[in-house]
Amino acid sequence: MANRVGVIDYGGGNLRNVLNVLKFLGHEGSLVSSPPDLEKVDRLVFPGVGSFGDCVAELDRKKLRDPVVDWVKGDRPYFGICLGYQVLFERSQETPETRGLGLFPGEVVHFPAQKGLKVPHMGWNQVNKVDPDYFVWKGTPDPLYLYFVHSYYPRPEETSLIASTTSYGEDFASSISRGRTFAGQFHPERSQEAGLQLIRNFLDTPL
């Protein structure tokens, strides 16, 4: 049976890609642009391309901040992609004056300047699973490679949140999980079959 999947409309440019992937997997996604839209969905995907400040400002303009916070606190299925991962934290070096959703303690930081390290981090990289038995990793290759495009990444204060790490100049938390919340810095919608499997697993999460 097809899931009712909401895709947060934060004004970014990759919403259509995510909707197309959901359709390919047999699920009709719908854009969530206002609080009442959340009443029509069972699962929430928050994709993200752009700046932390603009993304959060759009959430606030559409009065979606508190409903998204309540959704995650209520342990309802949530899949955050890139910015949809970063906004879960308290703050970002990208726009220090902007308050994130603050669901988890920590800061989104910029990759440090290092010789030979190109920023943004762009392309395929290995994702090292902390718990290979975690449901989102089910059926994924080992080693697992996913596609990244980012200059910033979250630094969670709670290490128990970390679901995977990736190395780029240093090891960083490439995803987190808690209950039915999963969020990662990579783009599963651009990661071919391995990425599709992550989304399938999320869609199979029991409600």
Q: Which of 94, 121, 150, 189 is catalytic?
A: 189
Q: Which of 82, 94, 121, 150 is catalytic?
A: 82
Flag whether pLDDT at 115 surpasses 90: no
Flag whether pLDDT at 104 surpasses 90: yes
**What pLDDT was estimated at residue 114?**
84
Helices (H), the chain: 15-24, 52-61, 65-73, 83-86, 192-203
Those residues with Cβ within 8 angstroms of residue 180's Cβ, 6 or more apart along the chain or in another chain: 75, 76, 77, 78, 205
For β-strands 29-32 and 170-178, DSSP reports them as unpaired
For β-strands 170-178 and 181-184, DSSP reports them as antiparallel
Average pLDDT over residues 89-100: 97
Fold of 5-203: Rossmann fold (3.40.50)
Helices (H), 62-140: 65-73, 83-86
Per DSSP, the three-state class of 182 is strand
Average pLDDT over residues 21-32: 93
Instruction: Count other Cβ atoms within 10 Å, centred on residue 147.
Output: 17
- Alpha-carbon gap, residue 84 to 8, rounded angstroms: 9
Taking the model in full, what pTM does it have?
Answer: 0.95
**What pLDDT was estimated at residue 2?**
62
| Mean of all residue pLDDT scores within the chain | 95
pLDDT in tens, 150-167: 999 999 999 999 999 999
Tokens matching residue 1: 């049976």
Q: How confident is the model at residue 8 (pLDDT cuts 50, 70, 90)?
A: very high
Active site residue 27: no
Average pLDDT over residues 129-155: 97
Residue 150 CA neighbour count, 13 Å, CB half = 31
Per DSSP, the three-state class of 110 is strand
- Considering only CA atoms, which of 28, 29, 67, 26 is closest in space to residue 47? 29
Active site residue 55: no
Q: How confident is the model at residue 195 (pLDDT cuts 50, 70, 90)?
A: very high
Flag whether pLDDT at 1 surpasses 60: no
**What pLDDT was estimated at residue 207?**
80
CB 15, CB 48: distance < 8 Å: no
Flag whether pLDDT at 50 surpasses 90: no
Tokens matching residue 184: 């990662």
